Structures are given as structure tokens and as C-alpha cells.
Chain A
Amino acid sequence: MKGQLSFIIKPITLVMVVALLLLLYQSISTSIGRQKKIGETLDLTASATNILLILANSRDCLAYEAPLSKSLYANAIDVNRLDEFSKSYSGIEPECARSFDFGWRITITELRNTAKGIVGDKNWTFGARQFSPGNVPSVDFGMPVAIVYSEKIVKPGIMSIHLVDGELEKIAGVFDWDCAMGRMNKLTKSSLGIDIKSPITYDSGTNSLCSGSKIKSCRILDCEMAFKNLDQGKHVLTINYVNGKLVIK
């Protein structure tokens, strides 16, 4: 009887050990995956913070320069530059803070103290209008800024960023980087290996790269391209810069 029991219990024990090991493996993998995702979100937040700070504090971007001392104040932005940026970069990120890894849009709201509390008074916005479709990593947050109208008139405001780390942003980023390097005569050829999840198409009429099948999201590119649309899957692309145009095969 004892022997018969052992014959049944031991294989069951073996199966349970195997099941436990699989569970352990899955648990470790899930935990690593979760950790990686948290790390990515933190990296994204760090990048968004840097972009906001560059925009607010770089002379190339929005920073207000005192007319006499030529010095800058931390997070003080020039209202004239703001008007200029929202006009010139209504559909694309300005070069001074462009990241070729991400796409972003900035909204700056001037705040006003009223009897009902603090309300948004005036808005400026610039940067990319469309982002990769679907559920892609993104962050949204803001930081306080001073909007300088003149040495004597300074108003409080909030500068917010919507930053997206998607496939469209990454591919368009590589093309735009190649374009910039080509224009500077620093690079004429490069290659890119990608695994595409949504079809990528090029609209030569608007010089935009689009992602998605049913509903498309598009980004304006810096250089015109000769580009054959790409279906989902793995691709290795060769990018050539020829006479101000990217030829992609």
C-alpha cells in the first residue's frame, strides 16, 4: 500500500517542483519587466525635465536676457520669444531643445490671481501636434516659470510638457538627425534596423512621416525623402543624404 502511494506521490511532487520552478521564473521575469518599466518612466521624466529646463534657461530657446547685464535669470522666459516660438514651431519642436528620441508639445499658461483663485489667463503652445498612435509611453507634467514682458512686468506661469516615446518619434528622429548631419556635411550615409509595429507611410505632399493604419499620426520632417512605405515587421534601412534629400532604401 505504502509502495503504491509512493508511485503516485513522487510524480506529483516532481510536477509540483517543475510548476514551482516555472512560477519562480515567471515571477522573476515579471519583476524584472516591472523594474525596467519603472526605470523607463523615470528616464522619460528626466528627459522631460531637461527639455523644460533647456527651454526656460537656454539663450537658444526662450530664456529672457537682461538688456544691460546680458545675464539670464533661472526659469525666466521672454514673452517675445514665446510669441515667436508659438508662431514658428506650431507643428514641430524647435531645434534648440529637440530630442531625436522623443516627440513633445509644450503649453505655457500665464496665471492670474482672481477672487476665485488662480486662473489661467493666456496660453502659448508649440511643438509636435501628433504622436505615435496607441498605448505608448508618455509623461505629462509642468514647472513654474516667470513670463517676462519687460524688466518691470513679470507674470507667473506654468510650462507643461506632453512627451511621448513612440515608434513614429524614434524613426522620424533618426531621419531628422541624418538630415541635420547631412546639412552639416558630417554624414552622408547611415543604416537603421527597426521592428515596426504599425505601418509607416510617407506623405510627400506635406513632407510628413505617418504611422498607423486606420487612423494615422504624422510628423513633419526636416528633409524631403524618397521613401517606400513600410509594413509591420523587421526592416533594415539604408539612409543616404543626396542633394538635400534623404534617399531611404
Chain B
Amino acid sequence: MKGSVVLSENLLAIVGILISFVLIVLVVQLVFSQQTTAMYESIYQSVARDISTAIDRAVASAGSIAIQQDMPKGLKLNLLIDYKTIIVQYDTYSVTNYFSGLIHSGPYKFLDPKTLCIVKTNNDNRVTITDKICSCKTNDDICDPECVVENKCDSKCASDNKTGVCNPFCANKYSTQCDKNCYANEKTGICQVACIKENEEDGICSPDCNNVKKGVCDLDCYNKYSNGITGVCDPDCPSMMKGKILEQNSVKYKTADGVCYTGCVNKTGISKSKTTLPKDGICDLDCDKTKNICDPDCPNSPACSDICIEEGKKSEGDPCCEGLVKCPSDNICKKRTTLTCCGNGICEWRPGTTNGWESGNKIQWETFYTCPQDCSDDPHTKTSCAGGLGFNKGVCYNDILDASGQWIGDEPVWVSNLIQVCNPEAESFLDRRNWDIKEVIKSISSPVPEGWAWDGSRYRDACNRMVNAQTNTGVNEKYSSDIAMCCSEGGFCDGRATYDPTIAADCNGVGFCADHAIGLLSILRTLGVPADHVYIVFSGGPGTPRHAWVAMKCNSTLPVNLQPDECQGNDGKWLSLDATGHFVKLLDDSSYNILCIFWNDQGLYAQNKGKIDATKGYAYPQDVKCSTTDMSNCAGRHSDCGYDKLCKKPFNVECVVP
């Protein structure tokens, strides 16, 4: 009995040791096998990354540089290098890595390279990659770009037009031999005069020959930069064009061929609105005919007279003189002051429209184009403006957080006193847009400052920070930064918006999507869009984006100023007007795949037009369709809207999905 206990003890000890041994072996094997697999791939990733870094280092060099990049010994791999990409192929696998710089060469393919020589040549801004030791050998039959780094001429580069390497130490503008490697539509650092043939087009106008006198006019430049187009200046055009220059009364003329060469311009010319050519001794008869191109070599050229319209005179074609502004209603040049063009009794509209400001006057338009005194009696205005119909609420979401502060859901909250139909700011907004829905759409579709900005900070504690339609419209009209999504609070921007302290005050009030939808609904209702044709749409819920925008039904029987272009051919369909996203398109063509409720200044759609009985109604019209790209998603997610909190609890109506 005693012996059996000893045997059991020994057996246990042996089993224990065996199990421990097996476990140790298993753990070690697991660690090593994981490491080996990961290590194997990571070695090739490292190779790709090292080459990317070397290429980027070469691109980032201000001068010429040659970088030798050795491959790790014992690795067998193939390399493909193309536009910003390196693909390392090994066994049957491959890894891809991107680099940031532009190399202006390639693609390259190297089979089992042992080393790479990466050369950046500063003259042509190219990076050349070869699978050899970096060295400049001038006495062999290979063109080495490394010679450029060593300031040496490798004659093979100049003699072989296919190398793609422009060596500036071989070629110069006085070379009699054309080195096509240095002759391109982009800079190579060398103007290859020998490559330019008289009266011959080859598709290349070399920017290296800009402003270089060479005794021959490059026809490619002559034809490319004509009739107002500036760019590469060939000072030999048209003066060196044989057979085209005639002399009459001591004036040399280029005979008319339809090309007024404007590659070269005198930047200190007579006026900003006109192009002035340099004085080259040749009067170009093609330029002489134009009103806006002044050739100082042409006697009595009408375009060369420094004409500007004086104060009080009508400007038609020629600009007003310095310090004056042309008022759009009467085209009379007046002294530039605040509200210069106001008070003439003519209601002027947004830039680009009939009787509106000329384009380019946006700043003036933003600051003093609005002339309420002129627009107040305009017959277009306020014909349909009849005020709101009592319901002024907007809805927003508050976060529901768990004990640790993590977001777990949305809580819809209705806020009062937000919708304001026929408020003075909506009327001013429409005054500036000729009470035309097409002009309203242009404004909400355009980027800022004409469109609507988006205050990212308002997503924090949104329900306590909603702004009413009047404030929101007014602030957006005055907003003049090009930042489309601004943030008025430095520490609380939500990632989409930019905080810029210089415009933070301007951002304060521009609101977020729910504010924009309320502002836009108020504007459209002020304009006269019937109540059953325009609603605010609200979407959201767990896993779906929160958003608010405006939906409007196309109806060809409405007055013409209520007919958006987007409705043409789409009668009866619904449009999405998104002032936050800056677009207008068919609702079923937009990416909105969830619709919760529709409402406007008459209340919830479920309570009026969509009413089924005393206790329930449709959440939105039955003819409204979600995004056609994802209908299944749309139908399945309506339950996310939280209809009990959106409809039932606050308004005692059950919202039903049509």
C-alpha cells in the first residue's frame, strides 16, 4: 500500500513534468511560428518602406543627389515601381507601399535586384532609378544620370535620344546637336535651340526657352499662346518669322494669319482689363484688330489708348477710372463708397443676373450690394408672403451616454421659436435673389461665402444652441470666409470643421444642418412655395447619420419663380435641397437612405396632410422615395427614428411609415 502511494507520487511527478514540457514546447512554438510568419512578411514590407523613404528623400532634395539603396542579402524579390507605388513581389505574394513624391519617370521593373541607385537630377526635377551601383563612368556605353550629380558630362546621355536623361553639362543652348532628352514640354533646365526647326511644328514648346532670344520662332509656342493666352514667351515670334514680315511707311507688320501671338506680355501695360504686348518692332495685324490686346508697335492702335470712363459717365465696354465703380442698374461710374449704387430706385440682384453686379464684385455685393431702400417697393417682392402658420418648432438630437460617458443612443428634442416665415432676413435674402428659386438654389449650392457655412462646435450640446431662421440666414449671408465648415469654439470642433480664430466670430450663428434646414424652409415658404410642397426632413437613429435638410415637391403648375431647373422633366418628384451639403438633387437620387419625419410651419406631416385618423398619420408623404441605391436599407431602418419620442410623446400622434 505504501509502495503504491510512492508509485502514484512518482507517476504524478512524471506526468506533471511531461505536461509542463509539452506546454513549454507549445508556447515556444506558438510564439516562434507567429513571429516567423509575421517576420517574413514584415521583412518585405520593410524593403518596400525603405525604398519609398529613399525615393522621397531624393525627391525632397533641393539639389541633385544619388542614393544607393542595397537590398537585404539573401532575399529574393522582384520590384515594380510606378506612379507613387512600389510593389515588392516574393514567392507568390506581394506587398505594396506608396511614396509621396513625384518622380517624373518610370515605370521600372527590376528582377531580383541587389541594389538600387536612385538619382534626383535638379535641372529636370526627375528621379531616375537603376539596379546598379551609383557611379559616373563617362567612358562606357551607358548613360549614367549620376554624372549630373558629379557635374560631369556623360556624352552617351546626349548622343542617345532614348535615355530620358537630360545632362545639362553636355547640352547647352549653343549646342548644334539636338539632345531630345532635354527638349520637352516641361522644364529640363536647358533650352535646346538646335531642336527647334523653322516653320516646323513638333508638339513641343519648351518652357526652358521662355524669354530666350535664339533667332528662330517656335511655331508650337506661336500657335499655342495666341489671342489672349499667355504662357511661354518666345521673343522671336513673330519678328523672326520669315516671309511674314512686311515693311510699309517705316513700320514693320506681320501679315494677318489669324494668330495674334500673346505669349509675351508687358505686365506693366496700360490697364488690367487689357493685354499689352511688349515693344518688339513688329506690328501684328491680327492683334491690331482686337479691342483688348494692345500692340504698341501698331500706329494708332485703338486698344492701346488708356481709356477709362470718368465719374458720372456711362461705362459700356471700357472700365471706370480708378476709384470709381460701375453701378449695375445704369452702368454709370460713381465714386466708390459704401452703398454707392443704392438709392437709385432700382432693385439690383445677385452677381451674374440681369441687372446684377458683374462677376468679380462679390466683395462689394456682400458688403453694400443690398439696398433695402431700392428693393422695398419692387413689384417682385412679397406678393406671396403671408407669415407662418403657427408651428415654429425644430428638432435636434441629444446624445444618450452611459455611465462611462460613451455614446449609446440619440434622444430627439423639440425646440420652439425656430421657423420664421416672412422674417425680414428671409425677405432681404430673397430681395437679393430676385425672388427666384433658381437664384436661391444657386446660393445654397455654391461654396461659401454665397452658400451656407456650418459651425462644427454646435454639435456639442446642439439642442441648447439652435438658432432661429432669421439669425441663421443673416449670419450666413454675412459670412465671407472660404472655409465651408467653420467652428466658433477652438476646443470643440467635431473633426469636420476648422477652427480659425480670425473668423471664429463670423462662425458664431451659422448653425448646423438643423438650423440650415429651418432657415431654408422659412425662405422657401416666404418665397411662396405652398406648404404641402416643402418640408424639413429629419433623419437619424443608432448607426445612421443624423441629418436635417429640406424636401420640395416639383410641380409644373406653380409660378415660374418657384420652378427649380432640377424639376425639369421631373414633375411630381421630390427634390432634396441641402444647404449644409451645398447641393440640390432628386431625393431618390441622393444618398439619403433613411427618412424619419417631414414637418413645416403647419406642423408634422402626420398631423395634417398625412393624417390617417385622430391618433395616427404618415411620417412622410407616400410618394416620397428613399435613395434608390439602397432601398432595402431604407425600409429596414425606419425603426431607428425613435417615433415615440419624435411624434407620440410630444404630439400624441403615432407616426406610421408609408
Contact = CB atoms under 8 A, between A and B. Distances in A.
Interface string B493-507: 011101010100000
Interface string A85-104: 00000110001111111000
A203 B99 contact: no
Interface string B203-236: 0000000000000000000000000000000000
Interface stretch (B82-90, B153-161, B272-280, B319-327): B82-90
Contact of B84 (A24, A73, A98): A98
Contacts of A13: 16
Nearest to B494: A215
Contact of A214 (B62, B83, B107, B407): B407
Interface string B628-644: 01100100000000000
B267 to A, nearest CB: 14
A11 B9 CA distance: 11
B12 A10 contact: yes
A54 B83 contact: no
B339 interface: no
Contacts of A91: 484
Residue of B12, B16, B107, B495 with highest tally of chain A CB at under 10 A: B495
A188 interface: no
A25 interface: yes
Contact of A186 (B82, B482, B544, B582): B82
B612 interface: no
B582 A57 contact: no
- Taking residues whose C-beta sits less than 8 angstroms from the other chain, chain A's interface range is 35 or more
Contacts of B49: 43
B13 A10 contact: yes
Contacts of B459: 215
A157 interface: no
B546 A173 contact: no
Interface in B539-571: 542-546
B583 A72 contact: no
B485 interface: yes
B125 A60 contact: yes
Interface residues of B, number: 68
Contact of A206 (B99, B495, B582, B593): B582
A218 interface: yes
B495 A133 contact: yes
B545 A25 contact: no
B496 A218 contact: yes
Contacts, number: 165
A212 B544 CA distance: 9
A110 to B, nearest CB: 14
Residue of B590, B629, B633 with highest tally of chain A CB at under 10 A: B629
Contact of B62 (A10, A28, A73, A180): A73
B172 to A, nearest CB: 14
B591 to A, nearest CB: 5
Interface in A192-238: 199, 201-206, 212-218, 228-229
A228 B630 CA distance: 8
A128 to B, nearest CB: 11
Interface in B1-46: 5-6, 8-9, 12-13, 16, 19-20, 23-24, 27, 30-31, 35
A66 to B, nearest CB: 11
A21 interface: yes
Interface string A10-53: 11011001100100110011001000000000010011001101
A186 B83 contact: yes
A20 B132 CA distance: 52
A228 B485 CA distance: 26
Contact of A130 (B9, B496, B502, B581): B496
Given A229-B593, A229-B633, 5 more contacts: A24-B27, A58-B60, A60-B125, A214-B410, A229-B591
